[in-house]
Each structure stands twice: as C-alpha cells, then as structure tokens.
C-alpha cells in the first residue's frame, strides 16, 4: 500500500510538470498492447489489461491506450505490431514470449517507436524486455501446500516445458521441501496456456491420484473450480480468482504489471526512456500475493513472513544446497542461483515426480 | 488402488458425457441421410448461450434449456440451406462450425470471467454412500443420467418404433420413402433439429457443469470427435456409449500416465486420443460389409422432390 | 408456389455473381451487426473492407496474408471438386514447415543458395506425406478422409511442439521453445524494402494460373472435373476412384506443405510452437468462396485476407472485438451456399397460365 502511495505522489508531480507539455501538443501519447488471449481470461492477458487500465486511470489525460487481442504467435504477430506502429503508437507492449522475433523485426523498421517485450531475452536500442519473478510467489505457495496437505502429494498443472514454468515447479518444490522433505509433486503437462476443459481434466486426474492440493501454471479458472467441486484446496494464477472458489483458493500469485507500465509510459512522456532488461519480483511489487485465505492463522503468518523476507531480499528461494534429480549439487550450500541459471532453467530439483519433457 | 480406479472411472464418465450428447444427436441426423459437420459450431453456440442465460438469470437449469434451444436454432440454419436451398452438406456443415466459432466468441465476449453456480452432482441418501457402486452409479450430476436416458431412448426409437423405421427408410432411400408418401424433407428437418438440440446440450454440459465458465473455443475439437464416434459406432446407438467412454477414457488415462510419471514424452501422450480415433476408424471402416449394412445409403446426398 | 428446375449446365453468370452477392449481403448484414453494437456502420465497414487496400503497406500485408490461403485453397479445390474432403490442410501445412524447415535446422551454418529451393521441395514432400496417410487409409481401409485428416492436424501440432522444445531447440535460446533462426540463405528475399511482401508471395500468385491451365487443358484436369460432377459416368469412362483420391490429397497436401515452408522461411524465419493462425481451416472458406476455381480462389484469398487485416484495424481504431471477423467468414459462406441454388437450378415463377393447366 505504501508503495502505491509513493507511486501516486510521483505520478502527481509528473502530471503537474506535464501540464505544460500537453497544452502545447494536443496530441496524446498513444500506447499500444498486443495480447495473446482475450482480456477476460482472468489469467495472463487479464493481468496485462489491468496494467493497461492503470495507465488509463493515472495518465488518461496525456495518454491513449489501444490493444489488439488474440494475436497468434507466428506470421500475424509482425503485422499486428507494425499496424500499431503505423497508426501512431509510440510505445508498444508485446505481452507474450513468442512475439520476440516479430517485435525485434518491427522495431528495426520503426526506430522512433519504443517497444517493450514481456518475458523475452533479446533487447535492441528501442526494445526493452521485462519479466516478473513469479517463482518467488511459488516458493511461498510450496510452503503453504506442504503445511496443509495431508496426503503429501501436490498436483501441478503445467503448460509448456519452458524455463519459466520449470522454475516455478522447482521453486514450489523447494518451498514444500523446506517444510516437509518428503513432499511429492506430480506434474501434468497440458500443452496449452488456456484450455479450460483440459485443465479441469488434469486437475481431476491429479486429485484421482491422491493430490490434495492443486496448483497450476495455466491461465483459466477451471482447475480451481474443479478442485472446489471436490472440496480440495488450490491456488489461483495470475490474478485473484477468489470469486470463482470462495472456499478453495489459498492464495494466488498476482501479476502486477501496472506500476511498470505506468513508469515506462511516463519515461516516454518525459523523454527519459532507455532500453533495458527488467526482472522484478516482490520487492518492487511486480509480483504480489492474494490474501492468504482458507488456512489456519499460523500458516498464514508463516506465509506472510516468508513473502516478507523474499520481498526485502533477506531470503532467496533458490538458496543452496540444491540438488537436481540425479542428485548432483547444482547450487552449493549458502549460495544462491544466479539469474543466468534461473533464466535458462531446464532441470528439475530433486524430488519432483516427473521427467522433464525435452 | 480401488479408490484410484473408481475415481478415474468417474472422471472418464464426465469426460464422455458431452461426446455422448453430441454423437447421439448426430447419429439420428445421419440416419435420416443428412451429414452435419457443424457439430463443433453447434456445441459452441449451445455452450455460450447456455452460460449467458445461466449468468443472467442465475439459474443453470434455464441455461441448459437455452443451450438446447440455441443448438436447435443453429441447426435450422443448416437445415434450411441444405434441405431447402439444396446446398452441399459438407460445405454447409463446415460453414456452420466457422459461424458458430465466431458467433460464440462475439456473444461470449461479455461473459468471459463470469461465474455461475454449476449444476451439482446428485446425492441420494444411502445409495450414493454405498461403497464402490455408490459413487459410480449414483454420484454423478443429473446430465450424465440424462445423456444415458436419451441414448437409450434413441436406441429404442430407432429399433422398436414405427417412426424410427421411417427415419431409417428416409436415410436409406429418400426417393422410395417419398414415393410411399413420407414427408422426406420434413423428417430430415426434424432429425437435423434433434442433432442441434443434442449438440447444444453437449456444449451446455461443458460450460454449465464440466467447467462452469465460458472461454472461446472451449469445446476444443470435441464436436469433431463426436462425428468420428458416429462412424466408430457404425450408426448404432448402443455402440456410441462404448465409443464415448473409450475416447473419454483415453483422454483421462494419458493424463493419468503423465501424473504417474511414466516418463513417456508428454507431447506423444497427448497425441494418443487422436491417434486412437484414427486407428479405431480404420478398424471399423475396413469391414466394408458392416459399414454398408448400417451406413445410411443417402448420407450426404441432397434430395429434391420431383413434384 | 415457386418451383425449382435443374439447369442442364451450370449458369456461368450465376456462378460468378453468387460470390459477389454473398460479399455484398455480408457487408449489409455486417452493417446491421455494427449498428446493433452501437458502432457507425459505414465507418466500421470502411475500416473492415476498404482501408486495408488504401496504403502500399496495407496491400503488401494483404498479399502476404492471402498467400498461404490461396496456395492451400487452390490445392483443396482440386479435391473438393472430386468430392475428396481433405479438411486437414492445417496439419499438412505444419508437416511441410517441419520437413522443409528441418533442413535449415540441420544446415544452420549453410551459405548455399540451393538451401532455399531444397527446403521448398522438402516442404511440399512433407505436406504430401502427411496427406498420404488419409489417402492410404481411405483407399486401403475405406476410412473417412475428413476425420483422419482432421485428427492428423492435432498430431502435427503436437509433433511440432515436441520438436521445437526437444531435439530441435535452439541451444542459445535459454531453453525457450523454438529452433535457431534460419540462416540468411534460407530466408525468402523481400520484394520491396520495408514491406513484408517476399519472393514466396510471387510463387503464390503464379500457382493459381498454373492450376487453371492444368484443370482446363490436361487430361488429368478433365478427369477431376468429370469425377466431381458425375462420379458414376466417370467410373464408366474408366476413371479410377482410388487414383483421384490419391491425386487430390497429394496435390492438396503438397500445396499446403509448400505454404507452410514458405511461411517458415519468410514471415517467421524459424520453427516455433505456433506457425499457423489457422490457415489450413480458413483456406476451406477460400476454396468455396472462389467457386473451387483457381482464379476464383485467388480473388477469394485476397477478399478474406482483407477481412483479417481490416479486423485488426477495427480493433485498433474502432475497438471492435476480434470475434467479428470469424462471424463474417461464417456468414459469407452461408450466403454463398444459399446462392449456389441459383447456379444449379432455375426458379420457375408460377404464372396464371401454368396454374390453369
């Protein structure tokens, strides 16, 4: 909350100083967004759209936002991004990994337009990248799950075997093991970000196999609802999904893109935008946690403490000793995994009950 | 272990239910000699209107009615084009699927992220609590039972009733059925509408019970699999049940195998339901005699009454 | 009552008028829909159907988008004429991209100018191989080609996903799915700088005319036409059904595969999990809208491409949801199929004299 206040004061000063600028040029800054899904998915795209609305709310007098939804990664992405650039958008956020190459290609053709690519790893003079350390939240979830689970088996619905997802599984596992070294995580890959019936199927199968907590790295609310039907606890994803499962959601990882989006927009307005790579976590508030619900207060207390120590930087979820599935030490005791290892993570930590597809 | 097996069987049943609905409807439609490839589109339309109605009225049963009704309406577009305007059935069916995908996305736009109260599983005192058979026989949601009842009804209708005989006659030889004096086009309209009703219900099952939410394209190919099931069943209703459970079963089993950590690449496991469909199609279809025996002879052919 | 009477030959005028009428009526229906959504219909229709054609970059984009639709549509129209319903072109497109693109994955350091032509050939072969499965199962086991070809779409998609995050994954890609970027010699040269139209676009534009020639001038084209319009007569004339099935599927698969590898080598430049925004399915509409005639398919491909690009424009400048585009495509098809009646039948109006008879 304090952060938000601080941000608001910063914004207000900026707005005041901007007053003159806007008077001079009646044209508003046009900011464009490319979405992979529908803004109403209540997952990934929804979270980005909330960020867009924050720009509207805070900078609405100076900025106009536009989005193109459901742009498939592949041949069409280039055109949709270019179309935004052609129609006078000076700052464009492309919000899915598969837009990486198209974003770079279009950026070359429109050197005076600024681009922001989510979750990618290639930058250019006018292309920044940004991503969030969601794994920090997953570690907290792992701890909660281990405390609450009676069967000792967690069901994990995974989308695609990319580092982001693998990192999440590992962080979850490490969190769970910190409470109970014998915790088991069962993983099902559904090969989709958004396929509600399939996500529900996966949740049911995992529960059939004895999982008594469900967590997901897919975007719909279906898994949460499937868990609710059987009276099993689960975690929400990307946004607070509590209204879909009042008695089920323990907490959810919140993708909080708004502050970053507002900041970058202000940078462009002020002419201070420069290319960079941002990978923020709980500290700057890009990753948040929904209220800890449906759990005893001592567990909620523990979760809050863990989250707080991650937020302040006192604790890193990937602190050694960490062994991989083969039992080889990958992070020595007392060390923490560096960002290079985290960014390209393609191994499971010891204890994950799955073979990483690759 | 028994618990896992019972739980898996329960999950398979619910996975099979939308397929049962859609395939039973399409079976009647095809038996009358009309091939409607628009099942996927009708399911999506049923799913979205069912969900929207439930969200607005707060009544999921009303939503189910709307799902069926909208399925009928969608199928009547198809019926008008193919039966009155004599258009190509394959092309029109594909058009219906494309139309249904677009329409449902447009209508559903405002309902993405809404919640409804799902139609809950029934719970009969004593019966549902019996070990093993309790949950298996008495622990499902009402629509699972409805799909069974409708399937049995269709089987009785086709094999035992006079109108069932007439329907099959229309599908096997429209010209002679017409000569005897049966209203061929009218009967086909009715059969197509029944197909629409069932596809709509199948879609409604997805958005009202299976995953009580609306998402674009949420049928994810189930309409096509229902079409395959009709061929698989060689146009015999009792075999639809077997096919639907088999297909639902493979879908669930491949996820089970993944969760059990068997170590087969997940992408290949995910291919299984589709490959199994192909294999079964081949096994059924290679028996040309059996196909000829049951396939409606006029399937897909337009009929125009010579005055 | 109105009465229908079959025409002895298809009406040429009606055949060409019906797609035009379908487009006009779709525009009118679209106007009504926009009105219902509270948008100004004339502005919205302008954005949808006209604006993409008013700038050079718009035209270039229309050509790029229409390319794969036309290639696949032409291929499918051969089969549809002969009553062979290959609706799995999407899978054949992916197979073409996999087999053709695989060459660039293995020869990623190549500087040979032969690489690109070889990829195109391999892409075609890949598409043909994928289409050969339904052909084989249909001719050998009588399995329905609609369902087999469709099921293979899902299999192809999963195969691609497996390859790009498994054996073919870019070793410098931080573990993300996707192959290396193709070497420069495996990328289609651009036609104009700053525009996306490329050499493959030219190939696409040439193919319909080659297909037209084959259909009109060769014995093979003749058998396809005869088989489609009068299968029984064709059998009597010695046309072998199995051969038609094989040819239809191989042509459809080959062109879909070619489209796949062209996209991979031009607009994408690598293999990644998603390489098609549903081209294989949309091409079915294109084939019908083009009256299953190669030149018609060319025009239809352009028309549908315009609605896609207009649809994006409408999202940006009018805030219209993406779903409207799909709805339009379904409605176009409905109108077209309804108008089909007039190409094959004459409507006889009841006159007093006939009534008196």
pLDDT value at residue A280: 92
Give the other-Cβ count within 10 Å of A240's Cβ.
Answer: 18
Give A14-83 as a DSSP string.
HHHHHHHHHHH--PPEEEEEE-SS-GGGSSHHHHHHHHHHHHHHHHTTTEEEEEE----SSHHHHHHHHH
Residues A291, A173 share a domain: yes
C-alpha dihedral sign at B188, B191, B195, B200: positive
Q: Is the CB of B254 inside 8 Å of chain C's CB atoms? A: no
Which residues constitute the domain of residue C245? Answer: 40-319
- The ipTM (two decimal places) reads 0.83
> Are A176 and A63 part of one and the same domain?
no
Q: Quick check: C142 and B286 CB within 8 A?
A: yes
Beta bridge pairs of residue A34: A68, A94
Beta strand A63-68 pairing with A114-118: unpaired
Say if A356 falls within a structural domain.
Answer: no
* Same-domain check for residues A276 and A326: no
Domain that holds residue B59: 2-294
Those residues of chain C that have pLDDT short of 70 are 1-3, 8-11, 228-240, 349-357
Domain count, chain C: 1
A328 and A187 in a single domain? The answer is yes
Structure tokens given for B229? 């099931």
**Domain count along chain B:** 1
Q: What is the enclosing helix (H) or strand (E) of B3?
A: helix B2-31
State yes or no: pLDDT of B18 exceeds 70: yes
What average pLDDT does the segment A14-20 reach?
A: 49
Query: Smallest CA–CA separation between B107 and chain A, in Å?
Result: 13
Nearest chain A Cα distance for residue B304, angstroms: 42
Report the mean per-residue pLDDT for chain B.
Answer: 87
B272: nearest CA partner in chain C: C155
Write down the H helix ranges in chain C: 12-36, 41-45, 56-81, 89-106, 115-141, 145-165, 199-217, 219-229, 231-236, 241-263, 279-289, 294-318, 323-344, 352-356
Residues of C in contact with A160 (CB under 8 A): 161, 165, 177, 273
| pLDDT at residue C234, rounded to an integer | 62
Strand segments, DSSP code E, in B195-242 are none
Would you place residue A14 in the very low, low, confident or very high pLDDT band (cuts 50, 70, 90)?
Answer: low
How many C-beta neighbours within 10 Å does residue A350 have? 19
| CA proximity to A241, closest of A231, A259, A232, A228 | A228
Partner A contacted by B210 (CB < 8 A): yes
Is A358 within the bounds of a domain? no
Query: Which chain C residues are within 8 Å of A75, Cβ to Cβ?
Result: 64-65, 68, 263, 267-268, 275-277
- C274 with A73: Cβ contact below 8 A: yes
pLDDT, tens only, B189-202: 999 999 999 999 99
Q: Which residues of A touch B109 (CB under 8 A)?
A: 38, 40
Q: Is position C339 within any domain? A: no
Tens-digit pLDDT profile for residues B147-185: 999 999 999 999 999 999 999 999 988 888 898 889 999
CA distance A341 to chain C (A): 9
Q: Which SS3 state, helix, strand or coil, does residue C3 take?
A: strand
Are residues A188 and A206 both part of a single domain?
Answer: yes
Sheet strands (E) in chain A: 29-34, 63-68, 89-94, 114-118, 127-132, 153-158, 184-189, 213-216, 233-236, 249-255, 277-280, 287-289, 322-323, 329-331, 352-353
Residues of C in contact with B39 (CB under 8 A): none
A49 and A189 inside one domain: no
Statement to judge: residues A171 and A300 lie in one domain = yes
pLDDT, tens digit, 9 for 90 and up, residues C309-333: 888 888 888 778 777 887 888 888 8
Closest CB to C272 among A32, A73, A344? A73
How many residue pairs bridge chain B and chain C with CB atoms within 8 Å of each other? 139
Q: Is C340 on the interface with B (CB under 8 A)?
A: yes
Determine, yes or no, domain membership for B300.
Answer: no
A65 and A188 together in one domain: no
| CATH code at position A209 | 3.40.50.2300
CB spacing of C175 vs A32 below 8 angstroms? no
Q: Please give the DSSP secondary-structure letter assigned to residue A349.
A: B
List the structure tokens of A107: 């950026």
Residues 6+ apart with CB under 8 A from A150: A212
Paired residues of C3 in beta bridges: C348
Say yes or no to pLDDT of A196 above 90.
no
pLDDT digits (tens, 9 = 90+) for B46-81: 999 999 999 999 999 999 999 999 999 999 999 999
**Does any domain span residue B104?**
yes
Residue for token pair 């969601």 = A134
A109 and A225 both lie in a single domain = no
Segments forming the whole domain that contains residue A37: 2-133+256-280
Total domain count, chain A = 2
A324 vs B233: CA distance, rounded Å: 49
Chains A and B form CB pairs within 8 A to the count of 104
- CATH of residue C303's domain is 1.10.3470
Q: What is the pTM of this model?
A: 0.86
- C17 or A222, higher pLDDT: A222
Q: For the domain that residue B130 is a member of, what is the CATH number?
A: 1.10.3470
Buried residues in B115-138 as b, exposed as e (16+ CB within 10 A): bbebbebeeeeeebeeeeebbeeb
Residue B237 is encoded by which pair of tokens? 């209703």
Q: Is residue C225 part of a domain?
A: yes
Spell out the residues 6+ positions from residue B225 whose beta carbon is closer than 8 angstroms to its own. Answer: B19, B247, B273, B277
* Residue A357 counted as domain residue: no
CA distance A308 to chain C (A): 30
Tell me if chain C has a CB within 8 Å of the CB of A79.
Answer: yes
Provide the pLDDT for residue B146. Answer: 92
């Amino acid at each position: 909350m304090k952060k938000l206040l601080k941000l608001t004061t910063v914004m207000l000063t900026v707005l005041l100083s901007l007053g003159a600028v806007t008077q001079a040029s009646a044209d508003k800054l046009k900011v464009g967004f490319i979405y992979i899904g529908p803004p109403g998915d209540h997952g990934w795209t929804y979270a980005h759209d909330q960020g867009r609305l924050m720009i509207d709310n805070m900078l609405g007098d100076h900025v106009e936002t536009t989005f193109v939804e459901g742009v498939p990664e592949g041949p069409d992405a280039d055109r949709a991004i270019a179309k935004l650039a052609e129609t006078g958008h000076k700052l464009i956020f492309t919000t899915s990994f598969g837009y990486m190459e198209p974003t770079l290609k279009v950026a070359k053709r429109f050197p005076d337009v600024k681009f922001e690519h989510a979750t990618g790893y290639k930058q250019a003079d006018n292309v920044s990248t940004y991503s969030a350390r969601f794994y920090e939240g997953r570690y907290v979830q792992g701890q909660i799950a281990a405390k609450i689970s009676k069967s000792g088996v967690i069901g994990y619905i995974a989308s695609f075997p990319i580092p982001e997802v693998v990192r999440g599984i590992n962080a979850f596992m490490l969190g769970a093991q910190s409470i109970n070294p014998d915790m088991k995580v069962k993983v099902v890959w559904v090969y989709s970000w958004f396929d509600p019936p399939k996500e529900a199927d996966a949740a049911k199968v995992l529960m059939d196999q004895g999982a008594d907590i469900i967590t997901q790295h897919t975007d719909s609310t279906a898994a949460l609802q499937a868990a609710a039907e059987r009276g099993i606890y689960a975690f929400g994803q990307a946004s607070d999904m509590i209204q879909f499962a009042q008695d089920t959601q323990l907490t959810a990882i919140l993708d909080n893109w708004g502050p970053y989006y507002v900041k970058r927009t202000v940078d462009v307005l002020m002419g201070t935008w420069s290319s960079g790579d941002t990978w923020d976590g709980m500290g700057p508030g890009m990753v948040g946690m929904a209220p800890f619900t449906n759990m005893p207060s001592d567990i909620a207390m523990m979760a809050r403490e863990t989250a707080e120590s991650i937020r302040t930087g006192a604790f890193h979820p990937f602190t050694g000793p960490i062994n991989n599935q083969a039992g080889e030490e990958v992070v020595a005791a007392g060390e923490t995994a560096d960002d290079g290892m985290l960014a390209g993570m393609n191994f499971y930590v010891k204890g994950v009950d799955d073979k990483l597809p690759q | 272990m028994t618990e896992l097996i019972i739980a898996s069987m329960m999950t398979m049943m619910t996975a099979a239910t939308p397929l049962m609905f859609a395939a039973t409807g399409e079976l009647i439609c095809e038996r009358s000699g009309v091939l409607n490839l628009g099942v996927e589109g009708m399911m999506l339309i049923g799913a979205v209107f069912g969900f929207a109605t439930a969200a607005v009225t707060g009544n999921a049963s009303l939503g189910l009615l709307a799902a069926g009704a909208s399925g009928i309406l969608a199928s009547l577009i198809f019926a008008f084009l193919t039966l009155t305007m004599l258009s190509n059935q394959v092309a029109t069916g594909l058009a219906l699927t494309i139309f249904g995908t677009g329409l449902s996305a447009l209508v559903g736009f405002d309902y993405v992220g809404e919640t409804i109260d799902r139609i809950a599983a029934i719970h009969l005192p004593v019966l549902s609590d019996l070990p093993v058979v309790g949950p298996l026989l008495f622990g499902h949601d009402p629509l699972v039972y409805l799909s069974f009842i409708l399937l049995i009804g269709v089987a009785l209708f086709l094999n035992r009733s006079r109108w069932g005989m007439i329907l099959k006659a229309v599908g096997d030889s429209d010209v002679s059925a017409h000569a005897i004096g049966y209203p061929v086009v009218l009967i086909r309209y009715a059969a197509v509408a029944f197909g629409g009703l069932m596809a709509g219900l199948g879609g409604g099952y997805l958005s009202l019970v299976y995953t009580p939410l609306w998402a674009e394209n949420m049928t994810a190919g189930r309409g096509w699999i229902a079409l395959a099931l009709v061929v698989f069943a060689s146009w015999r209703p009792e075999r639809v049940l077997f096919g639907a459970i088999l297909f639902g079963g493979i879908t669930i089993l491949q996820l089970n195998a993944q969760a059990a950590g068997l170590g087969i690449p997940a992408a290949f496991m995910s291919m299984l339901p589709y490959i199994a469909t192909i294999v079964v199609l081949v096994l059924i279809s290679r028996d040309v005699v059996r196909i000829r025996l049951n396939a409606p002879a006029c399937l897909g052919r337009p009929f125009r009454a010579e005055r | 009552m109105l009465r229908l009477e079959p025409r002895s030959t298809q009406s040429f005028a009606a055949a060409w008028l019906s797609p035009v009428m379908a487009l006009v009526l779709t525009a009118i229906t679209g106007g009504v829909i926009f009105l219902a959504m509270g948008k100004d219909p004339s502005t919205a229709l302008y954005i949808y159907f006209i604006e993409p054609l008013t700038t050079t970059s718009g035209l270039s984009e229309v050509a790029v988008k229409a390319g794969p639709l036309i290639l696949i549509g032409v291929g499918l129209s051969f089969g549809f004429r002969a009553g062979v319903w290959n609706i799995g072109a999407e899978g054949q497109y992916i197979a073409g991209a996999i087999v053709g693109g695989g060459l660039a994955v293995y020869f990623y350091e190549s500087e040979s100018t032969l690489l690109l032509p070889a990829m195109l050939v391999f892409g075609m072969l890949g598409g043909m191989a994928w289409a050969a499965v339904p052909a084989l199962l249909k001719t050998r086991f009588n399995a329905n080609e609609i369902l087999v070809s469709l099921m293979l779409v899902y299999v192809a998609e999963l195969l691609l996903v497996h390859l790009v995050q498994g054996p073919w994954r870019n070793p410098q890609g931080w573990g993300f799915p996707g192959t290396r970027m193709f070497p420069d010699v495996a990328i289609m040269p651009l036609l104009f700088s700053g525009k996306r139209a490329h050499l493959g676009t030219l190939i696409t534009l040439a193919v319909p005319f080659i297909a037209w020639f084959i259909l009109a001038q060769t014995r093979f084209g003749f058998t396809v036409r005869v088989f489609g319009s009068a299968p029984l007569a064709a059998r009597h004339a010695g046309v072998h059904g199995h051969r038609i099935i094989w040819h239809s599927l191989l042509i459809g698969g080959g062109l879909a595969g070619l489209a796949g590898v062209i996209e991979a080598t031009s607009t994408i430049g690598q293999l990644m999990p998603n390489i098609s925004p549903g081209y294989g399915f949309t091409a079915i509409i294109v084939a019908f809208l083009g009256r299953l005639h190669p030149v018609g398919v060319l025009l239809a491909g352009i028309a549908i491409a315009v609605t896609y690009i207009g649809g994006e424009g409408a999202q940006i400048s009018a805030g219209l949801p993406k779903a409207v585009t799909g709805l339009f495509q379904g409605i176009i098809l409905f109108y077209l199929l309804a108008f089909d009646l007039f190409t094959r039948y004459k409507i006889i109006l009841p006159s007093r004299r006939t009534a008196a008879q």
